[in-house]
Amino acid sequence: MNIVRAKDYQDMSKKAAGIIASQIIMKPNCVLGLATGSTPIGAYENLVEWYQNGDLDFSKVSSVNLDEYRGITRENDQSYYYFMNKNLFGKVNIDKANTHLPDGMESDSDKACSDYNKAIEAVGGIDLQLLGLGHNGHIGFNEPSEEFVPDTHCVDLAPSTIEANKRFFASYDDVPKQAYTMGIRNIMLARKVLVVVSGEDKAAIVRDAFFGPITPKVQASVLQLHPNVTLVADEAALSLI
């Protein structure tokens, strides 16, 4: 694992964006695995700025997102489809036909998951997978469990995850309780993995995930087995290692 120490969130965002930009420049038709949440927003802002300055071209890039809430429409401002269009897709020249997210409105979970596994295979796999890190060690919506689930699946969100997402909704009751998410094998088959983490509140899970035992109770710990992982984190998030 390569650990890149950043001074603060802004520095972390710029360093992470630089790694993503390098992937696009080296392979213009690359497949990016993308993440949502508050942590990647700064990286997306940098990528948009570099595109607007003429330094990046997304026209041949394809993308697959980690997850999507189940039972929420794409038009809902809390859907991850909406998030990606607001923060990246709507601001660069990526072909929307080449962007992929699980279908949150597909009520048949087996079909939704099977279709998404096929979509990942159809684009040729993931060149660079961007990940955030949940307080409980989840990556995507792979919550602490007794096992590593390999492929895209429907997951019941942990109470801590629902609580963390509550700030984006009118009330706790409005937060979706399920999501479709890539599985651990989907993530581990990415040729490169980029993890971004910021804040002192993540220091303990950074320590546990990357320097503790490999266990499905800390899903991110499996990344210790990946041959090409880069962790970009600020000083606060790295304070316990």
In the block, tokens 């989840």 appear at: 138
Helix (H, G, I), strand (E, B) or coil at 77: coil
Closest CA to 68 of 76, 78, 84, 79: 79
Quote the CA–CA distance of 45 and 51 in Å, as a whole number.
10
Query: Hey, which residues does 128 pair with through a beta bridge?
Result: 32, 192
68 labelled catalytic: no
Q: State the catalytic residue, choosing from 106, 143, 208, 234.
A: 143
Q: State the catalytic residue, choosing from 68, 87, 100, 138.
A: 138
Quote the CA–CA distance of 1 and 231 in Å, as a whole number.
7
143 labelled catalytic: yes
67 labelled catalytic: yes
Q: Pinpoint the alpha helices (H) of the chain.
A: 9-26, 41-52, 80-87, 109-122, 159-165, 184-188, 203-211
Q: What 8-state DSSP symbol labels residue 171?
A: S
Quote the CA–CA distance of 68 and 80 in Å, as a whole number.
6
146 labelled catalytic: no
Q: What 8-state DSSP symbol labels residue 139?
A: B
Q: State the catalytic residue, choosing from 87, 136, 142, 165.
A: 136
Active site residues: 67, 136, 138, 143
